[in-house]
Structure 1
């Protein structure tokens, strides 16, 4: 459930007047009683730095978020963003791959990264006293990687093994198959990792070009949460980036992705990946809503009631009462201009028909009759509780800052977000359920079947 609304960023880095140097602009965004003081600085280059000071913590999570993901690739580039994520840890002009990892691990810290369809994140978690080291290392690897030809070949092999490993995990593969069923050849329907056919011929020059064209200061958000001082973090970030390709002329921060035009999805279809597995993996679902849609709060409640926990309708019906599946849940994925709503189940191949029949019946029942007042209250409680409990560590707070800035362009205070959930009415949820769950459903299946097994 993302932030929205109240904290708009009108003041950005201001270009020089009368030849004076551009200056950084800092604002206090909130002083949240459930958290710490949140401040935001826009550097002259357009790079943004957000921090949440939480003095009670003894650690800091520091992340560099780039508004580039797999949906920003052309077909032949598929996997470039993920390939680049691997390569940035392989060495810079100042550090080798071993030095990057050993410097952080020597102080008990940890580093990692991940690529999504709409952004890439590089992060470290360290003791508060080691934050200057983490900032220097992480800024160095994101801004100034050398992308040696030998490292490209080494990581190509690693990524191809990762793709092969993913293919051996049918519970993961079915989610990618479902995305393809809904989005087809659109970038949102492609694998984040790319495929063997796209990764194998990818050249260092192509990756280098993607790196320098996409990793620009206006596209980057730096976020940190924990026992820190905002001004010190900004100073350390500027020092670490000085003289690198991210130390650029004055520019405005990039706008977040627009919600229009809406992504065109495919008509409802069935995709089956035949595989001799002990368990069948199925996903039944449809296009959902985008992440800026005000109904996302009602969707969170609806999702909780349908398949968001052990008390949900689907879990109770399919697992608890009938024992047909170990894992069954519903979920919503939201992008700038599209979304998904789906139900996943893993069950014995011989039970697939019954599981799908029960799932379809429950979705139709909720579409026609809605949910109850008691379910509404429970769904709201789950939404609020999961959000607040998710803010109990510096990593989640750092992510909240970055996603608010990168994906929405604002940061919703915790109290307001909870109030938005509380404001969801029974009519809101039931109207959304009637619309969403009446849509034609696509089906993705991985297991010992063929397309004809689901022709009906």
Structure 2
């Protein structure tokens, strides 16, 4: 199951703040999404979200893989968690934890010559701001709680989402549709669509 919408562009002034907030929401094993979906309920082995960069505005996405019988409740929970994130934001404790995590884990992003070359290529191929990777740690450390929460409210929508569910429509289709407030459209594709 994938839920997503527009996210951020690396040139947005609040790009890094959104990446930090997203890490608290769904970017680590101790994140809200993982704790609520996997640890507390056991609905999916993995539960994560991503707000990355691309040549143009990249998507914000959440992924889970619940069993068919758990999919509607899992979807409803994820949408509720997203709503709470936009309304309440992340906490100071979450911010402190993820900033420390991102700074400490950064060593694994630059520990080989190949990875460092790939970062240079990223900047060229994705039209990243000059020095995107070189200034990464400082920009992470500079993110404030207010900036992180404002970025979530500004960049992530609850209303313009696309939700993709792999399953049997006859088995879960109605329950999935009922789990989505303000559902605009349902499109069912055959499993063997080419």
Q: Which stretches of structure 1, 4 residues or longer, exceed 4 Å deviation after superposition?
A: none
How many equivalent pairs are there? 174
1:279-428 matches, cutoff 5 A: 282-406=1-125, 407-408=127-128, 410-412=130-132, 414=134, 416-428=135-147
1:11-90 alignment to 2 at 5 Å? none
Scaled by the length of structure 2, what TM-score is found? 0.81
Indicate which of 166, 173, 184 corresponds to 1:446.
Answer: 166
8 Å Cα contact 1:364-1:437 kept in structure 2: no
The Cα of 1:404 is off from its aligned counterpart by 2.1
Distance 1:436 1:410 in 2: 22
Aligned partners of 1:300 and 1:383 also within 8 Å: no
> Larger % of helix: which?
2
| Shift in Å, 1:285 | 1.7
State the Cα RMSD in Å.
Answer: 1.9
Work out whether residues 10 and 129 of structure 2, in 8 Å CA contact, stay in contact via their aligned partners in 1: no
Secondary structure of 2:169 counterpart: coil
**8 A Cα contact 2:45 2:65, kept in partner:** yes
Normalised by the size of structure 1, how large is the TM-score? 0.36
> RCO higher in 1 or 2 (8 Å CA, sep ≥ 6)?
2
Equivalent-residue separation in structure 2 for 1:435 and 1:374 (angstroms): 22
Judged with a 3 Å threshold, the aligned counterparts in structure 2 of structure 1 residues 352 and 289 are, in CA distance, closer, same or farther, namely same
Bigger Rg, structure 1 or 2: 1
Aligned partners of 1:376 and 1:306: how far apart in 2?
10
Aligned-pair CA distance for 1:409 = 6.4
Contact kept, 8 Å, 1:292 with 1:336, in 2: the verdict is: no
Following superposition, the deviation at residue 313 of structure 1 comes to: 0.3
**CA separation of 1:317 and 1:369: change in aligned 2, threshold 3 A:** same
CA distance 1:301–1:334, change in 2 (3 Å): same
Question: How big is each residue's C-alpha offset from its partner over 1:259-284, in whole Å with a ceiling of 9 and x where there is no partner?
Answer: xxxxxxxxxxxxxxxxxxxxxxx011
Please give the alpha-carbon distance, in whole angstroms, between the structure 1 residues aligned to 2:13 and 2:47. Answer: 27
Following the alignment from structure 2 to structure 1, what is the Cα–Cα distance between the partners of residues 156 and 128? 27
SS at match of 1:420: helix
DSSP-derived class of the 2:95 partner? helix
The CA deviation string for residues 430-455 of structure 1, in whole angstroms up to 9 with x for no partner, is 11122334442210111222594333
**Structure 2: which 5+ residue stretches go unaligned?**
179-194
Q: Distance in 2 between matches of 1:286 and 1:405?
A: 25
Q: Do the aligned partners of residues 434 and 289 (structure 1) sit closer, same or farther apart at CA in structure 2, a change above 3 Å counting?
A: same
Q: Give the secondary structure class of the aligned counterpart of 1:336.
A: coil
- Unpaired runs of 5+ in structure 1? 1-281
Of Structure 1 and Structure 2, the greater strand share is in 1
> Take 2:132 and 2:152, find their aligned partners in 1: how far apart are those partners?
26
